[in-house]
């Protein structure tokens, strides 16, 4: 059957693929195109959507795409960078400034099909440095925004020209934090482009099965199976497509698993009928050796990824199946955050995207049935395959496991920018009735589609949760060099923090495992496990207070759908009380805090 389709032009924003997913969920096929693809590749589509980008439209960056692309006689919608490029192309002006991050209110000023079914004010989500400051002829303002951080109104948040069929949203309609973004994208696709929805998940699955059969041919697959949602669904998809005799599984204990995790995973695969071809290896010594003395997050991630491949190759040899293709449960965010699309920045190197695996992919030796999907779709696919709820709705757990939650330090404080950061953070926090302590370590985040390796700030004070969230968004948006805020849960208001030397050792991992176990048990006890999308527990080698010893634990409960954006979650007081008592009672832990940063600018994991 011939389906109507939309082309999504990937300018390298973190969410280009998310746009395509959203279009597909409306029931219209969507394909990703590169900006420099020849014009013929843009033919036959009902509409074109231009994505965001880490590039600055105001500086003319990345403006060298296929000539004539914007002049095509096809309806177009630009999002963020795409919006600015459309404005510029038709005589408008884009300036470096008018920065917004996080949620904002869109005030719709025109009754327009793009906003069919929506109210006069809609929550939208922003992440940009540049903005449109003037419109070209024939364009009109469809909406402006007011920000939640109290900054002045931002004009031209939504623009359009009905005669040209060109539209632009400064906000990211594709992320879940734009509450009715799906409806806005749907309105563009169905009302403006006139596409007919006929694309279903079943159609996608059917094609995926055929693709797998064609790719694998007569060969077999050896799948790295952590027991997480993705690798479990990947295992079942491969079994369905190829038959269980051609799918071998390898579960690796990398020493950075949760408490009792490997034993539980083995049981899970037995229950799924995948036990027969399951192999298990305890490779914790290999991983800890590879991580010895490492501190820098990317170095740690790369060491973990490489060790996975080494262990995989060794096990394949031991089992006499070296000729098998490497199977992985990679999902789309793993690729995009590693900078795996042509223009995207590397936010983090995911364990399944290190160089050696990239080379194997080029050689056609890697099979990844879920590489196009987001977590929410993986779960949907799992449900259609009849996989049990408990397996599908486990919290996501990253391949490098506790490795990205156990921060390491040489013991040297990182205070280079403190002359600027400390007064700025103190002043910004005081506006919300909070005290701020800039921490002399860094964690990974993402700002305007770029990796941000910056300082966290510890906030102390007794103000309502909503005020804490506002303070966090104001501090991280307003101060370059700060990407994360955490709220103190310990008894004192700490005024100094000093790093303690700590690397990836069994002892520290055991300590983190215990704290993590307490959090997971607490969530289950309070009936919150299913409500919360993910809750990393992080061990931070910082002692709070003068002359103190010990380390700090940070809780990171979040809500999300696709992991590309996330919102912090408040724990009930009773649970907080239990965790305070339990975690601060662990030997070696002297500080406790909860992360109150949305993603962006913080990422879900700290590294």
CB atoms within 10 A of CB 356: 14
Residue 466: partners with Cβ closer than 8 Å, 6 or more residues away: none
Phi, psi of 62 (to 5 degrees): 55, 30
Q: How far is the CB of 579 from ligand XMP (least distance, A)?
A: 20
Helices (H) and strands (E) in the chain, counts: 16, 25
Here the tokens at position 341 are 């699309």
Closest separation in Å from C-beta 513 to ligand XMP: 16
Say how far apart CA 277 and CA 222 lie, in whole Å.
10
CB of 304 to ligand XMP, least distance (A): 8
Sign of torsion over alpha carbons 540, 545, 547, 550: negative
What tokens appear for 345 in the block? 């920045």
Three-class SS string for 568-581? ECCCCHHHHHHHHH
The CB-of-558 to ligand XMP minimum distance in angstroms stands at 9
Nearer to ligand XMP, 169 or 606 (CB): 606
Nearer to ligand XMP, 398 or 557 (CB): 398
| Ramachandran sector of residue 547 (left: φ over 0; alpha: ψ -120 to 50; beta: rest) | left
Strands (E), 372-449: 435-438, 443-447
| Pairwise CA distance, residues 279 & 574, whole Å | 42
Active-site annotation, residues: 80, 172, 174
Quick one: 28 or 336, whose CB is closer to ligand XMP?
336
Non-local (6+) Cβ contacts of 48 within 8 A are: 6, 7, 8, 9, 42, 72, 74, 75, 76, 77
Instruction: CB nearer to ligand XMP: give 148 or 350.
Output: 350
For ligand XMP, which is the closer residue by CB, 158 or 234?
A: 234
| Exposure of 67 in the CB half-sphere (CA atoms within 13 A) | 0
Nearest distance from C-beta of residue 103 to ligand XMP, angstroms: 18
- Helix H, strand E, coil C: the string for 73-122 is CCCEEEECHHHHHHHHHCCCEEEEEEEEEEEEEEEECCCCHHHCCCCCEE
Helix, strand and coil content of the chain, in percent to the nearest 5, comes to 35, 25, 40
Kindly report the number of other CB atoms within 10 A of residue 561's CB atom. Answer: 15
Q: How far is the CB of 466 from ligand XMP (least distance, A)?
A: 23
Residue 594 CB, nearest approach to ligand XMP (Å): 17
Q: Residue numbers of the site for ligand XMP (CB under 6 A)?
A: 333-334, 337, 348, 350-351, 396, 398-400, 404, 534, 563, 599, 603-605
Taking alpha carbons only, the member of 19, 25, 32 closest to residue 340 is: 32
DSSP code of residue 502:
B
Give least dist CB 403 to ligand XMP, A.
9
| Residue 399 tokens, joined | 């391949």
Tell me how far apart the terminal alpha carbons of the chain are, to the nearest angstrom.
Answer: 45
The token duo for 68 is 């004539």
Question: 97 phi and psi, to 5 degrees?
Answer: 150, 180
Closest distance to ligand XMP from the beta carbon of 72 (Å): 35
Nearer to ligand XMP, 272 or 563 (CB): 563
Closer CB to ligand XMP, 404 or 497, in the complex: 404
């Amino acid at each position: 059957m011939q389906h109507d389709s939309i082309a999504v032009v990937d300018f390298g924003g973190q969410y280009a693929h998310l746009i395509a997913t959203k279009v597909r969920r409306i029931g219209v096929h969507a394909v990703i195109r590169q900006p420099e693809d020849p014009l013929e590749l843009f033919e036959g589509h009902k509409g074109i959507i231009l994505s965001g980008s880490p590039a600055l439209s105001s500086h003319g960056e990345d403006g060298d795409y296929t000539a004539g692309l914007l002049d095509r006689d096809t309806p177009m919608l630009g999002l963020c960078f795409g919006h600015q490029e459309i404005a510029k192309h038709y005589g408008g002006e884009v300036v470096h400034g008018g920065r917004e991050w996080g949620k904002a209110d869109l005030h719709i000023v025109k009754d327009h099909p793009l906003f069919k079914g929506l109210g006069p004010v809609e929550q939208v989500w922003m992440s940009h440095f540049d903005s449109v400051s003037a419109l070209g002829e024939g364009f009109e303002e469809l909406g402006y925004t007011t920000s939640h951080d109290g900054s002045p109104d931002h004009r031209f948040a939504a623009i359009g020209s009905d005669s040209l069929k060109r539209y632009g949203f400064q906000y990211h309609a594709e992320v879940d934090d734009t509450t009715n973004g799906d409806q806005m994208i749907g309105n563009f696709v169905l009302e403006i482009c006139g596409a007919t929805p006929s694309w279903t998940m079943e159609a996608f699955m059917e094609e995926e099965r055929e693709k797998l059969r064609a790719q694998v041919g007569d060969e077999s697959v050896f799948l790295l199976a952590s027991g997480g949602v993705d690798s479990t669904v990947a295992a079942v998809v491969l079994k369905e497509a190829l038959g269980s005799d051609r799918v071998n599984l390898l579960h690796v204990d990398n020493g950075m698993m949760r408490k009792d995790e490997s034993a539980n995973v083995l049981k899970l695969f037995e229950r799924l009928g995948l036990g027969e071809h399951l192999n298990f290896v305890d490779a914790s010594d290999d991983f800890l050796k590879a991580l010895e003395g490492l501190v820098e997050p990317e170095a740690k991630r790369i060491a973990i990824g490489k060790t996975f491949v080494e262990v995989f190759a060794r096990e394949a040899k031991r089992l006499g199946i070296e000729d098998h293709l490497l199977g992985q449960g990679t999902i789309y965010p793993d690729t995009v955050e590693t900078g795996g699309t042509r223009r995207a920045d590397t936010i983090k190197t995911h364990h399944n995207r290190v160089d050696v695996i990239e080379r194997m992919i080029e050689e056609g030796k890697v099979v990844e049935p879920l590489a196009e999907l987001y977590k929410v779709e993986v779960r949907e696919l799992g449900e259609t395959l009849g996989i049990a709820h408990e397996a599908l709705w486990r919290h996501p757990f990253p391949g490098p496991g506790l490795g990205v939650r156990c921060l390491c330090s040489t013991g040297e404080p990182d205070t280079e920018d403190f002359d600027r950061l400390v007064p700025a953070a103190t002043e910004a926090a005081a506006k919300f009735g909070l005290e701020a302590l800039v921490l002399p370590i860094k964690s990974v985040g993402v700002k305007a589609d770029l990796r941000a390796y910056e300082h966290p700030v510890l906030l102390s004070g007794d103000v309502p949760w909503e005020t804490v969230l506002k303070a966090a968004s104001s501090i991280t948006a307003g101060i370059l060099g700060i990407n994360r805020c955490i709220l103190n849960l310990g008894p004192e208001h700490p005024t100094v923090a000093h790093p303690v030397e700590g690397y990836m050792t069994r002892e520290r991992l055991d300590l983190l495992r215990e704290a993590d176990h307490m959090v997971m048990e607490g969530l289950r006890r309070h009936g919150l496990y299913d409500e919360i999308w993910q809750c990393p527990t992080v061990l931070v080698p910082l002692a709070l207070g003068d002359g103190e010893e010990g380390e700090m634990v940070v809780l990171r409960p979040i809500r999300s759908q696709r992991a590309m954006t996330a919102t912090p979650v408040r724990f009930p007081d009773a649970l907080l009380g239990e965790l305070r008592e339990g975690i601060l009672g662990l030997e070696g832990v002297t500080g406790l805090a909860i992360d109150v940063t949305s993603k962006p600018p913080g990422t879900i994991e700290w590294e």
